[in-house]
A and B are shown apart, each in its own frame.
Chain A
Amino acid sequence: MVPKLLTPEQKESRMNICADILNNTDTDPDLLDTVTLKGTRFESVEAVKAKVTEVLNQLTEADFQLLSAMEKSYGAVAKSSTADAMATNRSGTAQRPNGSAQGKICQFKLVLLGESAVGKSSLVLRFVKGQFHEYQESTIGAAFLTQTICLDDTTVKFEIWDTAGQERYHSLAPMYYRGAQAAIVVYDITNQDTFGRAKTWVKELQRQASPNIVIALAGNKQDLANKRMVEYEEAQTYADEHGLLFMETSAKTAVNVNEIFLAIGREIEEAEPRTYPRTSSRRPGGSGQGRRLAEGDTGAKAAGNCCK
């Protein structure tokens, strides 16, 4: 397989991700112990940086593997960028090149729903980037974000769709629900109305989405429990009655954020262990039958001009 070279922009964005990891390593020196590459331990952050730079400059497939191994060892919730690069490079094969040879990669489309300003984007931002902004702008300008988590020997890649504000005037397109395997319906525990709206969204999902979608209910802003208007028990009862996962979360303090995504990942795994072919990286969001278009796609070129 010929490795694809990255564009300068892609290179830079991957460089930034590595910098991110390394910055965290600075604040938590113990993390350095978890970074090993091909059995080599790194003595200092500088040494890791040097290796990263070297890898990025060469960018062969072997290097992607190194990077991936490095990110994987960083923690259960790994940054997904190199996994992305690898997935596109090795279209279809699901074995992780390094480490767990039996590892499976599953990709899922997850949609967020809930009233404006309950913290949908903040939850994603916390989960994907580990960040929180007190005054999060109402749109985050991303088509969708991806995040990969590891569950035992399975790698679950979430393709997370934000409403992009289209929920505000009930103008979400059917496309949004299409092919979603999971949904998080978010409400604000300090606002009873948003809980009522959350119930409406659950109904909407049951009407519009695929019948076996995994739905999680998130009571967000758990850090503001002193201003609570929605009782935990009330939400739990509702969730039980409707077969939803339920947690109270806080994007601000990170409480239950990773947990709710992990729980969804497990639920999908358990609910439909055989529905999705385990050895192929299934494209989320789609039917798995069509093709996505990309620049430089040349498909059946040879067949088209065979007698040139």
Chain B
Amino acid sequence: MDEEYDAIVLGTGLKECILSGMLSVSGKKVLHVDRNKYYGGRVGVNLSSGRAFGAPPPDDSYGRKRDWNVDLIPKFLMANGSLVKLLIHTGVTRYLEFKSVEGSYVYKGGKISKVPVDQKEALASDLMGMFEKRRFRNFLIYVQDFSGDDPKTWKDFDPNTQNMQALYEKFGLDKNTQDFTGHALALHRDDDYLNRPAVETINRIKLYSDSLARYGKSPYLYPMYGLGELPQGFARLSAIYGGTYMLDKPIDEIVLGEGGKVVGVRSGNEVAKCKQVYCDPTYVSDRVRKKGKVIRCICLMDHPVPNTKDALSTQIIIPQKQVGRNSDIYVSLVSYTHQVAAKGWFIAMVSTTVETDNPETEIKPGLDLLGPIRQKFVSVSDYYEPTDDGLESQIFISQSYDATTHFETTCLDVLDIFKRGTGEEFDFSKIKHELGDEEQ
């Protein structure tokens, strides 16, 4: 450990592993350390150690422990989203296999309906009345034909200055339709977007439908063996490009030099020197502030979610207004077919941003959709963000994982940190070139 590195990365969560990979690929000498014995931090762990919740060891009806890979932070990949692009460009996709998530549903008035994404589905949907359907269809056509570079497709509407509320009004969409469009298609977590330029939401809806067009069924993908495979894949990328890996290594101090700039990391008596540190909030409690709380409830079940046509994987979004809240509730379901549970088992996760003193009551509308639950684990965790941009200290801190149901914000954070840390955008071409060689 007593060596000098360009960068030391602390924590093997997904964000840190992607950063480690990108830094190694860019030619930096990287040391990647985790205080835990396993990869992944809070994204995806194996249940076998039972370390996550201090729950009693599962009995025999749960099958073999090694068959379980439970994510602590439920997220799906958008098939056309930035994480998939990162996976493909870095070649990490070759270590992984994915499955399409089978169903995408939205909650309205106590029951769930399939999210309509094209004109045909819009016309068949039970979410809207007949006239509303026509208006929604026109809206979808507008979004589909929309191109940011071509003002002709904007149809007398300036998406860069006019807000989303105005666009909804242009098409005469009612509150209910706005609700599922904003939350189940554009995947906004709250209603702030209504007052921001419409282009942002239009692009999000396009991402949804482009993702859907890619593999069908739903716009979401989920990796076989769980999300824990993602950090492992990027860690391998980093190692292949020379990154050094140390697990089970406690970090006692981040050593600062002149002007509060980082000079190294101490573990016991060993000090590794470095020019930069990249880490998750848990390694630097004095440099982050609490932004909020997220509640996540993991439910083990022996059946799929009712009313989803027995889908073996599903996402259900409960838009805030439907249940009188300020942030959405997300329900996701994966199963033994993803090699994350023993045969016949399903894992549902209900999560949301905490708004009250009684978070467990807040997720009740989600839990109520699931049917009988065999085992339930609840965790409420603080959501942290760094107090500064890290330029002065050269300590770059990622934000905690938010309640969103996909990885778009995760990637934005990673790319932003990379840019702050290296002063340049990540050059994807660098990797692609090298990949040609190693494919021999």
Contacts and interface: CB of A to CB of B under 8 A. Distances in A.
A89 B338 CA distance: 27
Contacts of A286: 97, 224
A293 B433 contact: no
Contacts of A17: 440
Nearest to B223: A290
Nearest to A286: B97
Contacts of B223: 290
Nearest to B337: A289
A200 to B, nearest CB: 16
B245 A143 contact: no
Interface string B223-242: 11100110011011101111
B143 interface: no
Interface stretch (A21-29, A38-46, A163-171): A163-171
Interface stretch (B212-220, B251-259, B407-415): B212-220
A299 interface: yes
Interface stretch (B83-91, B152-160, B397-405): B83-91
A145 B244 CA distance: 21
A293 B84 CA distance: 8
A141 B244 contact: no
Given A287-B97, A297-B215, A81 B118 contact: no
A143 to B, nearest CB: 6
Given A9-B436, A168-B244, A143 B95 contact: yes
Interface residues of A, number: 51
A50 interface: no
Contacts of B118: 304-308
Interface string B118-134: 11100000000000000
B440 A171 contact: no
Interface in A159-187: 164-166, 168-171, 173-176, 178
A286 B84 CA distance: 18
Given A145-B440, A171-B245, A300-B216, A291 B232 contact: no
Contacts of B433: 9
A301 interface: yes
A303 interface: yes
Contact of B240 (A142, A173, A293): A142
Interface in A1-26: 7, 9-10, 12-13, 17
Contacts of B214: 297-301, 304
A170 B433 CA distance: 31
A289 B97 contact: yes
Contacts of B436: 7, 9-10, 12-13
A294 interface: yes
B216 A304 contact: yes
B60 interface: no
B437 interface: yes
A120 to B, nearest CB: 14
10 contacts: A13-B437, A141-B240, A142-B240, A143-B94, A286-B224, A289-B337, A290-B99, A291-B99, A304-B212, A304-B213
Interface of B: 39, 46, 84, 87-88, 91, 93-99, 118-120, 144, 209, 212-217, 221, 223-225, 228-229, 232-233, 235-237, 239-242, 244-249, 337-339, 433-440
Interface of A: 7, 9-10, 12-13, 17, 81, 84, 128-129, 139, 141-146, 164-166, 168-171, 173-176, 178, 283, 285-287, 289-295, 297-301, 303-308
